[in-house]
Chains A and B, each alone.
Chain A
Amino acid sequence: MHYQTGSGSCKVPLKRSVATDPMERIERMAAAHAVVIFSDSTCCMCHTAKRLFCSLGVSPVIYEIDQDPRGEDLSKALLRLHGGAAPVPTVFIGGRLVGAIDSVMASHINGSLVPLLKEAGALWL
């Protein structure tokens, strides 16, 4: 897992665009990697999402929005995007929105998650 943090000390450099619309930021962040999870470090459901992808053998990129200086905007934008109960966790695969945890679970149960992951290059059989 690769963590993106708002501060300078991070493993992967974060692009800084001060005046960017949060939605654009999200799209850019989502497109950058095969599997992207927007998360909150204190949220337990986000932990569930992370554990699920790990158990599939995937290494998602995690954005902890509570550690982002403009996390508030991101949170609102995420909520608008998928209209779920909570802004996090929100999952993108191959740059496309999968949704909140219930969508991820549903897609895993109906068998569509793994093909999606393979298509995005996150999983190799």
Chain B
Amino acid sequence: MASHRVGEPAALSDSGAPHHHHIPYAVPHMLHHPTNSNFINQEGPAFDFGELEEAIILQGVKINNDDKKQHLYTAIRPAATLDMFPSWPMRFHQHTTRGSSKSGEESTDSGSAVNTLSNTPESPSDHRQPPPPPPQMDAAGGIDSPRMSGLQSQPPAKPAPEKTLRRLAQNREAARKSRLRKKAYVQQLESSRIRLAQLEQDLQRARSQGLFLGGGGAASGSISSGGAIFDMEYSRWLDDDHRHISELRTALQAHLSDSDLRVIVDGYIAHYDEVFSLKGAAAKSDVFHLITGMWTTPAERCFLWMGGFRPSDLIKMLIPQLDPLTEQQFMGICSLQHSSQQAEEALSQGLDQLQQSLVDTIANGSVNDSMRHMAVSLGKLANLEGFVRQADNLRQQTLHQLHRLLTIRQAARCFLVIGEYYGRLRALSSLWASRPRESMIAEDNSCQTTSDLQMVQASQNQFSNF
């Protein structure tokens, strides 16, 4: 079986540009490893060592300058389909075909594995399919790399030994299989991409039409669509947060002017305003998602208060980090902490009363009046949204007041501290989730954990710079 693929620089580059250049060096190494299919697997579903090796071996063995054998050096066409990396030059050489009858078969255009698999049902029919050539070695495989052009001019030598021929045939087979795999993979990717685009479109449409209110069809798993939408937006917000924090850090280290810092700090405040607005929308569609904290990491969830952080705790954490403070600032921040505590207490008591009232309603509903009783319960449950909104309002006001109380440089440091604090809390959650469970593997993993801890400590040292 001859390879139908004639010239595929694009396919070779599938695993990355470096492979283009590494091939001549890789080849001698590769020749010592007869497990070609494994090698192909490692390289990804693209690289066709089979033909390459074949070409090298044949070259080394000096093929007869047979008319039939000239197929080895037939025309290499550029990859016409699936040009996945259009920025990379597609090199091809036109080599003279010696007019062999077989060369007509080689002229099928190849871009990739797509069209060479004439026997496979999945190959698209818009490529010309050559008839499968006889399985014996007839040197009809095309050389797929222009680097072989150096070999083109050499005179062919005597026929290859039997064992080598067999191995070459196996290589071809393996190459063919790898092309099949690559084709399947690429098709899967394409369909996934289309599906993803459609899903995002649907989400956007549903959101704009307000269709994600509560139950119904769109729930996937245990997250309602409102919750899923918020999770998506929140993860984007987290990426933004990371960016803002880096910006704050570099701005402080670079000792920018106050006016420049002000822009960055205002940007960070606006960034937080945005998350509160996102949470407001989420509270309307799925307040339970917010209250149970399923949108946060486990460590954050541990400290959750009414669907978010507790402002007075945040200020308590901040006060030692914000040194030095003027007397007036210190009084102002302590007063802020106190006010926040009072407001939190009032909200908590209000929520307690709501819960008590709900419990009473649910427990004491009569069987005869269950519909009305459920309606009353539903009405009470709807008040939850108000509490989460007020809690978020409290958080937002607290951040704004901090901004007012501090100088611009202090405010920049303050928000950097806040961002890093929550970043660490999230990192802690990840570490916790991946901690070793069994003592048997503790030794191996403890080293990893230690290095993770060192990482956390390193960032803590950076923390103390401010």
Contacts and interface: CB of A to CB of B under 8 A. Distances in A.
Interface of A: 42-45, 47-49, 51-52, 55-56, 85-86, 101-102, 105-106, 108-111, 113
A109 B397 contact: yes
Contacts of B389: 102
Contacts of B397: 105-106, 109-110
Interface in B403-418: 404
Contacts of A113: 339
Chain A interface mostly: helix
A85 B389 CA distance: 11
B386 A86 contact: yes
Report, as a range, how many residues of chain B touch the other chain. Answer: 20 to 34
Given A102-B390, A111-B336, 9 more contacts: A43-B383, A45-B383, A47-B349, A48-B350, A49-B346, A56-B342, A105-B397, A108-B342, A110-B404
Given A51-B345, A51-B349, A45 B386 contact: yes
Nearest to A113: B339
Q: Is the interface of B mostly helix, strand, loop or mixed?
A: helix
Interface of B: 332, 335-336, 339-340, 342-343, 345-347, 349-351, 353-354, 357, 383, 386-387, 389-390, 393-394, 397-398, 400-401, 404
Nearest to A48: B350
A8 B397 CA distance: 42
A122 to B, nearest CB: 15
Contacts of A42: 357
Contact of A52 (B336, B346, B398, B404): B346
B346 A48 contact: yes
Nearest to A43: B383
Contacts of B398: 109
Contacts of B342: 52, 55-56, 108
B343 A108 contact: yes
29 contacts: A44-B351, A44-B353, A44-B354, A44-B357, A44-B383, A44-B387, A45-B387, A45-B390, A48-B350, A51-B345, A51-B346, A51-B350, A52-B342, A52-B343, A52-B346, A101-B390, A102-B389, A102-B390, A105-B394, A105-B397, A106-B393, A109-B339, A109-B398, A109-B401, A110-B400, A110-B404, A111-B335, A111-B336, A111-B401
Contacts of B340: 109
Centre residue among A56, A101, A109 by max chain B CB count within 10 A: A109
B166 to A, nearest CB: 81
Contacts of A86: 386
A109 B390 contact: no
B386 A105 contact: no
Q: Which 6 A-B pairs have the closest CB atoms?
A: A48-B350, A52-B346, A44-B354, A109-B397, A51-B346, A51-B349
B394 A109 contact: yes
